[in-house]
Amino acid sequence: MPYRGSMRHDQIALQLYTVRRLAAQDLPGTLRAVADTGYGAVELAGLPDIPSGDLAALLDAANLRVVASHEGVERLRADLGAVAERLAGVGCQRVIVPWMPEEDRRDLDGVRRFAAELNGFSDELMRHGMRLGYHNHAFEFAPLDGSTVWDCMLPELSPAIELELDVYWAAVGGRDPAAEIRAHAGRIRLLHMKDMAAGAEPRDAPVGDGILPIADLVEAARSSGVEWFVVEQDEPADALADIGRAFRYLRGLAR
Protein backbone atom coordinates (compact mmCIF):
# COMPACT_ATOMS: atom_id res chain seq x y z
CA MET A 1 0.00 0.00 0.00
CA PRO A 2 1.31 3.49 -0.75
CA TYR A 3 2.38 5.43 2.31
CA ARG A 4 -0.26 7.99 3.22
CA GLY A 5 0.71 10.81 5.52
CA SER A 6 2.68 14.03 5.43
CA MET A 7 6.28 15.06 4.95
CA ARG A 8 7.95 15.16 8.34
CA HIS A 9 11.02 17.13 9.32
CA ASP A 10 12.94 13.87 9.65
CA GLN A 11 12.22 12.91 6.02
CA ILE A 12 14.45 15.70 4.67
CA ALA A 13 17.94 14.57 3.64
CA LEU A 14 20.88 16.04 1.74
CA GLN A 15 22.68 14.56 -1.25
CA LEU A 16 26.31 15.08 -0.25
CA TYR A 17 27.31 15.56 -3.89
CA THR A 18 26.03 19.10 -3.34
CA VAL A 19 28.89 19.80 -0.91
CA ARG A 20 31.51 17.66 -2.65
CA ARG A 21 34.03 20.47 -3.09
CA LEU A 22 33.89 21.36 0.60
CA ALA A 23 34.07 17.69 1.56
CA ALA A 24 37.21 17.23 -0.54
CA GLN A 25 38.92 19.90 1.58
CA ASP A 26 37.49 19.07 5.01
CA LEU A 27 35.17 16.09 5.26
CA PRO A 28 34.65 16.12 9.06
CA GLY A 29 33.98 19.85 9.07
CA THR A 30 31.62 19.60 6.12
CA LEU A 31 29.57 16.86 7.76
CA ARG A 32 29.33 18.91 10.95
CA ALA A 33 28.21 21.93 8.92
CA VAL A 34 25.52 19.85 7.18
CA ALA A 35 24.21 18.72 10.56
CA ASP A 36 24.37 22.26 11.95
CA THR A 37 22.21 23.39 9.03
CA GLY A 38 19.47 21.08 10.29
CA TYR A 39 19.87 17.87 8.32
CA GLY A 40 19.76 14.57 10.15
CA ALA A 41 20.14 12.33 7.11
CA VAL A 42 22.30 12.21 3.99
CA GLU A 43 22.67 10.41 0.70
CA LEU A 44 26.22 9.48 -0.28
CA ALA A 45 27.96 10.59 -3.48
CA GLY A 46 31.02 12.64 -4.38
CA LEU A 47 32.91 12.00 -1.15
CA PRO A 48 36.64 11.39 -0.72
CA ASP A 49 37.60 7.72 -0.86
CA ILE A 50 38.01 6.67 2.76
CA PRO A 51 37.41 3.35 4.59
CA SER A 52 33.78 2.75 5.48
CA GLY A 53 34.65 2.49 9.18
CA ASP A 54 36.24 5.94 9.14
CA LEU A 55 33.27 7.40 7.28
CA ALA A 56 30.85 5.74 9.70
CA ALA A 57 32.69 7.33 12.63
CA LEU A 58 32.50 10.79 11.03
CA LEU A 59 28.80 10.38 10.28
CA ASP A 60 28.11 9.19 13.82
CA ALA A 61 30.04 12.15 15.24
CA ALA A 62 27.85 14.51 13.21
CA ASN A 63 24.70 12.53 14.12
CA LEU A 64 23.90 11.88 10.45
CA ARG A 65 22.24 8.71 9.18
CA VAL A 66 22.68 7.37 5.65
CA VAL A 67 19.49 6.83 3.67
CA ALA A 68 21.04 5.78 0.34
CA SER A 69 24.22 5.80 -1.72
CA HIS A 70 24.72 6.55 -5.40
CA GLU A 71 26.78 3.78 -6.95
CA GLY A 72 27.60 3.73 -10.66
CA VAL A 73 26.52 0.60 -12.48
CA GLU A 74 30.17 0.00 -13.36
CA ARG A 75 30.90 -0.60 -9.67
CA LEU A 76 28.06 -3.09 -9.40
CA ARG A 77 29.28 -4.88 -12.49
CA ALA A 78 32.83 -5.04 -11.15
CA ASP A 79 32.12 -6.29 -7.61
CA LEU A 80 28.64 -5.94 -6.19
CA GLY A 81 29.63 -7.82 -3.04
CA ALA A 82 32.33 -5.28 -2.27
CA VAL A 83 29.84 -2.43 -2.73
CA ALA A 84 27.37 -4.11 -0.38
CA GLU A 85 30.07 -4.74 2.24
CA ARG A 86 31.28 -1.13 2.11
CA LEU A 87 27.78 0.29 2.44
CA ALA A 88 26.87 -2.08 5.25
CA GLY A 89 29.76 -0.51 7.13
CA VAL A 90 27.96 2.84 7.19
CA GLY A 91 24.50 1.42 7.83
CA CYS A 92 23.25 2.07 4.30
CA GLN A 93 20.46 -0.18 3.02
CA ARG A 94 19.68 1.52 -0.31
CA VAL A 95 21.83 1.50 -3.44
CA ILE A 96 20.83 3.98 -6.16
CA VAL A 97 22.14 3.65 -9.72
CA PRO A 98 22.48 7.30 -10.75
CA TRP A 99 23.11 6.99 -14.49
CA MET A 100 22.56 4.75 -17.49
CA PRO A 101 25.69 4.62 -19.68
CA GLU A 102 25.20 5.83 -23.23
CA GLU A 103 26.10 2.46 -24.71
CA ASP A 104 23.17 0.90 -22.83
CA ARG A 105 20.58 3.30 -24.26
CA ARG A 106 21.25 3.38 -27.96
CA ASP A 107 18.01 1.50 -28.63
CA LEU A 108 15.10 -0.02 -26.72
CA ASP A 109 16.62 -3.49 -26.74
CA GLY A 110 19.64 -2.08 -24.94
CA VAL A 111 17.33 -0.45 -22.39
CA ARG A 112 15.60 -3.76 -21.80
CA ARG A 113 18.93 -5.53 -21.29
CA PHE A 114 19.95 -2.84 -18.82
CA ALA A 115 16.69 -3.30 -16.91
CA ALA A 116 17.25 -7.06 -16.78
CA GLU A 117 20.75 -6.44 -15.44
CA LEU A 118 19.35 -4.18 -12.71
CA ASN A 119 16.86 -6.90 -11.81
CA GLY A 120 19.74 -9.30 -11.24
CA PHE A 121 21.60 -6.76 -9.11
CA SER A 122 18.43 -6.19 -7.09
CA ASP A 123 18.08 -9.90 -6.35
CA GLU A 124 21.67 -10.10 -5.19
CA LEU A 125 21.45 -6.96 -3.06
CA MET A 126 18.32 -8.26 -1.36
CA ARG A 127 20.40 -11.20 -0.17
CA HIS A 128 22.58 -8.59 1.55
CA GLY A 129 19.51 -6.93 3.08
CA MET A 130 19.65 -3.98 0.68
CA ARG A 131 17.34 -2.42 -1.89
CA LEU A 132 18.20 -1.14 -5.34
CA GLY A 133 16.91 2.04 -6.95
CA TYR A 134 17.36 4.08 -10.12
CA HIS A 135 17.79 7.86 -10.43
CA ASN A 136 16.84 9.76 -13.60
CA HIS A 137 18.33 12.63 -15.54
CA ALA A 138 16.68 14.25 -18.57
CA PHE A 139 17.74 11.78 -21.28
CA GLU A 140 15.27 9.15 -20.03
CA PHE A 141 12.42 11.28 -21.36
CA ALA A 142 13.79 11.98 -24.84
CA PRO A 143 12.23 10.13 -27.81
CA LEU A 144 13.83 6.75 -28.55
CA ASP A 145 12.50 4.33 -31.18
CA GLY A 146 8.90 5.46 -30.69
CA SER A 147 9.10 5.46 -26.92
CA THR A 148 11.47 6.77 -24.24
CA VAL A 149 14.03 5.16 -21.98
CA TRP A 150 11.77 5.86 -19.00
CA ASP A 151 8.62 4.39 -20.51
CA CYS A 152 10.45 1.35 -21.84
CA MET A 153 12.52 0.63 -18.73
CA LEU A 154 9.98 0.96 -15.94
CA PRO A 155 7.70 -1.93 -17.02
CA GLU A 156 10.81 -4.12 -17.35
CA LEU A 157 12.08 -3.41 -13.83
CA SER A 158 11.26 -5.71 -10.94
CA PRO A 159 8.70 -4.23 -8.54
CA ALA A 160 11.42 -4.53 -5.90
CA ILE A 161 13.46 -1.81 -7.63
CA GLU A 162 12.67 1.64 -6.30
CA LEU A 163 12.79 4.95 -8.13
CA GLU A 164 14.44 8.17 -7.08
CA LEU A 165 12.79 10.89 -9.16
CA ASP A 166 14.91 13.96 -9.75
CA VAL A 167 12.17 16.56 -10.12
CA TYR A 168 14.45 19.10 -11.81
CA TRP A 169 15.71 16.70 -14.48
CA ALA A 170 12.22 15.36 -15.08
CA ALA A 171 11.06 18.92 -15.75
CA VAL A 172 14.06 19.58 -18.02
CA GLY A 173 13.06 16.42 -19.91
CA GLY A 174 9.58 17.83 -20.50
CA ARG A 175 7.66 15.83 -17.90
CA ASP A 176 5.41 17.07 -15.12
CA PRO A 177 7.14 15.83 -11.95
CA ALA A 178 3.89 15.82 -9.94
CA ALA A 179 2.20 13.68 -12.60
CA GLU A 180 5.15 11.26 -12.56
CA ILE A 181 4.97 11.00 -8.77
CA ARG A 182 1.29 10.13 -8.93
CA ALA A 183 1.65 7.81 -11.91
CA HIS A 184 4.26 5.75 -10.09
CA ALA A 185 2.83 5.84 -6.60
CA GLY A 186 4.45 3.19 -4.46
CA ARG A 187 7.55 2.98 -6.67
CA ILE A 188 9.05 6.45 -6.22
CA ARG A 189 10.47 6.26 -2.71
CA LEU A 190 12.89 9.19 -2.89
CA LEU A 191 12.72 12.60 -4.55
CA HIS A 192 15.72 14.68 -5.51
CA MET A 193 14.57 18.13 -4.55
CA LYS A 194 16.23 20.77 -6.67
CA ASP A 195 14.49 23.77 -8.15
CA MET A 196 14.76 25.30 -11.64
CA ALA A 197 16.03 28.85 -11.98
CA ALA A 198 14.07 31.20 -14.24
CA GLY A 199 15.65 31.79 -17.65
CA ALA A 200 15.99 30.38 -21.13
CA GLU A 201 18.69 27.83 -20.26
CA PRO A 202 17.95 25.16 -17.63
CA ARG A 203 19.87 25.74 -14.42
CA ASP A 204 19.24 24.32 -10.99
CA ALA A 205 18.52 26.44 -7.94
CA PRO A 206 17.96 25.94 -4.20
CA VAL A 207 14.55 24.49 -3.41
CA GLY A 208 12.08 27.35 -3.10
CA ASP A 209 14.16 29.81 -5.12
CA GLY A 210 13.03 28.70 -8.57
CA ILE A 211 9.94 28.17 -10.71
CA LEU A 212 9.01 24.56 -9.98
CA PRO A 213 5.80 24.07 -7.96
CA ILE A 214 7.62 22.54 -5.00
CA ALA A 215 4.64 22.68 -2.65
CA ASP A 216 2.54 20.79 -5.22
CA LEU A 217 5.26 18.15 -5.57
CA VAL A 218 5.38 17.64 -1.82
CA GLU A 219 1.60 17.37 -1.74
CA ALA A 220 1.67 14.74 -4.52
CA ALA A 221 4.36 12.85 -2.64
CA ARG A 222 2.38 12.81 0.59
CA SER A 223 -0.03 10.19 -0.74
CA SER A 224 2.27 8.40 -3.19
CA GLY A 225 4.72 6.50 -1.04
CA VAL A 226 7.64 8.93 -1.04
CA GLU A 227 9.81 8.36 2.02
CA TRP A 228 12.69 10.80 1.53
CA PHE A 229 12.95 14.35 0.19
CA VAL A 230 16.61 14.66 -0.75
CA VAL A 231 17.93 18.17 -1.33
CA GLU A 232 20.49 18.39 -4.14
CA GLN A 233 22.18 20.94 -6.37
CA ASP A 234 24.74 20.10 -9.01
CA GLU A 235 26.38 23.52 -9.05
CA PRO A 236 25.44 25.55 -5.97
CA ALA A 237 26.56 29.17 -5.84
CA ASP A 238 27.27 28.89 -2.11
CA ALA A 239 26.80 25.29 -1.02
CA LEU A 240 26.18 25.75 2.69
CA ALA A 241 24.00 28.82 2.24
CA ASP A 242 22.01 27.10 -0.52
CA ILE A 243 21.37 23.88 1.40
CA GLY A 244 20.34 25.98 4.39
CA ARG A 245 17.73 27.87 2.37
CA ALA A 246 16.46 24.62 0.88
CA PHE A 247 16.16 22.98 4.30
CA ARG A 248 14.28 25.91 5.78
CA TYR A 249 11.89 26.02 2.82
CA LEU A 250 11.09 22.30 3.02
CA ARG A 251 10.81 22.42 6.78
CA GLY A 252 8.15 25.08 6.28
CA LEU A 253 6.16 22.63 4.15
CA ALA A 254 6.47 19.78 6.63
CA ARG A 255 3.61 18.85 8.94
> Could you tell me if residue 200 is inside a domain?
yes
> Whole-prediction pTM value?
0.96
**What is the DSSP pairing of strand 94-97 with strand 131-135?**
parallel
> Could you tell me if residue 88 is inside a domain?
yes
Cβ distance 82 to 116 under 8 Å? no
SS3 132: strand
Residue 255 is predicted with a pLDDT of 75
Kindly report, residue by residue over 109-159, the tens digit of the pLDDT.
999 999 999 999 999 999 999 999 999 999 999 999 999 999 999 999 999
Mean pLDDT score across all residues of the chain: 96
Which uninterrupted H or E stretch holds 181?
Answer: helix 177-183
**Structural domain total, the chain:** 1
- Residues 162, 140: Cα–Cα separation, whole Å: 16
State the CATH number of the domain containing residue 41. Answer: 3.20.20.150
> Could you tell me if residue 37 is inside a domain?
yes
Cβ distance 217 to 175 under 8 Å? no
pLDDT bin (cut points 50, 70, 90) of residue 6 is low
Residue 215 has pLDDT above 70, yes or no: yes
Residue 1 has pLDDT above 50, yes or no: no
> Could you tell me if residue 17 is inside a domain?
yes
> Could you tell me if residue 4 is inside a domain?
no
Structural domain span for residue 189:
9-253
Which uninterrupted H or E stretch holds 11?
Answer: none
> Could you tell me if residue 144 is inside a domain?
yes
> Could you tell me if residue 3 is inside a domain?
no
